[in-house]
Structure 1
Amino acid sequence: MNLRRAAWVSSTLATCLVGAAHAGPKVWVSVGEDAYRLLRRAGADIEQVELHTLPVQAPAAEGSSKLVRRDESVYLMRVDSDALPRLSQDVHQRLNRCAGYVMHASRAQGRQELSGFRAALLRQETAGKVNYEIDNQAEVNALLPQLQESNVRSTIVQLSTDYKNRYYATHYGVNASDDLVKTWKALAAGRADVTVKQFSHNWPQKSVIMTIKGTTSPKQIVVIGGHLDSTIGNTQEESIAPGADDDASGIASLTEVARVLLSSGYQPRRTIQFMAYAAEEIGLFGSAAIAADYKAKGKKVIGALQLDMTNYQGGTSDYTMITDYTNAAQNTFVKNLAAYYTPSMVVNQGACGYACSDHASWTRNGYVASFPFESLLSQDNPYIHTPQDTIDKSGNNANHAIKFSRLALAFAVELGSDGPALLTK
């Protein structure tokens, strides 16, 4: 990631990242314990460090069904922005996960956001706003056979080969967003209840949102998202960053769900939104902006599902439910969906650390989010963030990604077909 390429002010992070040729500016970031150690080991120029703690639930051991509650150390600091591309690579290579940091406009904003994040996590421990009964079997079972692996595969190939990269600051990243709008609008042709729009940011790439308006409870929103951008360690305009798994696969999995829902004429009671987030790889920027905007406007997102990497099956598990910075009640619902609609699938549990993907943006803003991942974190795709993140690393098929389409479709219909009568007091 080249953070000297652009200058912007994000509506939620509002950080200027313009630097000189030899050194970047100091920026405020928050990182988890492991990422903090990597920054120190790399000799990053760090100052004004302060410790915060966030309550999370994590498996007692990777893959374990037993969860333990712990306080995770999170460090707020000023750091040279040029250290962040190296941090992103080290987090992937040494910690087997992505991202790992969130930017803040100032120390005061960082403190405020971390305090709000802690409060949101504590509230979620006792949250129970939605009845997660599986009660739309006829609708789901009628739609599941319409999902096609070939369509998912085709989308992965298109996104990973039509552009040299999909980085948030390159013209390829901009084109990927513009082209996805056209693709989704074509799927929605003839549906007056469906809109496809871009969500503009103060950086070049835009996020994309498809909305299927609910018939009776349109103000209640079900979100299914993944990130559109791709990166290698120090992404330039002409860098080769195909991002077939990270995250063309997630966009492909959710696009196939949208295709089936639209082509079948399905009309949800609640509003369903499909989102392709911009700029995830530089600190969850796109999803953070959207989630903060929804919170500011009082939008009622009853559940968000994150699809970030769905097509590399690194081990025997089919889904790994990420338990930290997600909602326990909705996680149980997603696991129940997997057991009911895909009973042969093996479900494990894992933790991915602070700010590892876009689900954290929804959780940070007080919403309920879940993140089913493609493998145990120790067995994740070793090729992501390199020019070798191509579909051949997944056998030139989308057999794993289609499983996530099935899970996401069940999630969309089971929540989307319900209405306010199912909200608990």
Structure 2
Amino acid sequence: MSNLPFGFGPSDPDKRGENGPEGGGDQSGAEAFNQLGQMLSQLGQMLSQAGSSTGPVNYDLAKQIAMQKLSGSGDSSIGFAASSDSDGAVRDAAHLAELWLDAATILPAGANTTVAWSARDWVQKTLPTWQRLCDPVAQQISGAWVEALPAEAKQAAGPLLSMVGQMGGMAFGSQLGNALAQLASEVLTSTEVGLPLGPDATSALLPANIEKFTEGLELPNSEVLVFLAAREAAHQRLFTHVPWLRQRLLATVEEFAHGIKVDTSALEQLAGQVDPSNPASIEEAMSSGLLEPKTTPEQEAALGRLETLLALVEGWVDVVVAEAVGDRLPGADALRETLRRRRATGGPAEQTFATLVGLELRPRRMRAASALWKLVGEQHGLEKRDGLWSHPDLMPNAQDLDDPMEFSERLGEHSAIDDLDPIAELERTQQEKDEKAKKEDPGEADES
């Protein structure tokens, strides 16, 4: 069964039965009125305690829930091991990885900073990007839900209707917080989902999670750390020196989310379940699982573009890291295959991403992309291979992943890229990006 974006999951069973007193005996009008007053008072307190977030997702609540769950799990340090200096180990591993990568790609180092994160750090540092990814989904769902309410239901709801958005934001925030806590306890680096979730030019590894991942691999912790540091550094080289890539990835995710359509018949059924005098019924109705997103042709196209681009990123990183590490790490091949299986079987990163954004990625394309990048590098050299990143129009497409040999042969027939200076092209693209940012916000550009 495919994962559904938030708002589509089952409601929390622990919250069922909270609508009204147990026993269900007859009540006088005064008792019912008093109970409603107490409920609204409690709701007001709950809303105030959840933070001041007013968007489609209550990110204050999401952060609170994630932090509470991580604190409860005992994640209180970022130590790679009880007796080691995790920050120093991460920096040393990253420095070694960068030296090896210099010989495997023409793209220079992309990270100005390498840090060791705890799971709590990961939540704090990546939440701004998750907000950009999740807002379009939540906006579509909550907006469609309110619009589908019959006019008489809206009129009957009266002032309580204004709480619908807040309740929806809290429902989404609760689901996001739980998902982020789960992912933060297992993710290994800031780029494991293939997207630039963290701050610009910052490589980040999670030593405590890496230590758990290493258990059972029969490999030294230090060797695993260096290999993962190389993958993180390779991702950062792409995201830093291919200016169009970060925006293209995030914009394609947004485009997919904006295309979500909700079955209006299901919305009408949900509307009948909502009791305007009972805000708890709003959250339960929205998370009842009746809302099934319908995939549109526009979404299919956006999904195809995203899958291809993510595959190209992951395939390039896979090939470059393999070439950089070479025979230096005895367990490199085993680690490479372990990470491939982790992606192919829908590891925690893919599962959580699918739950949050509604995207089912197809990791099988990563192997095809790896084969393509390896073939191009062998037949045309590193400069031509990495020079393809200088402009999106030069990049392989989905059809090329199906036939890497044909793409490589076609690449050899065209001289357009032969006269291209990849570094100069990358610098030109970066300059255009800086000039555009200066025009959009002169004050910010001057401060930088």
TM-score class normalised by the smaller sequence: under 0.3
Give 1 or 2: higher helix fraction: 2
| Higher Cα Rg, which structure | 2
Give 1 or 2: higher strand fraction: 1
The two structures have a TM-score, normalised by structure 2, of: 0.26
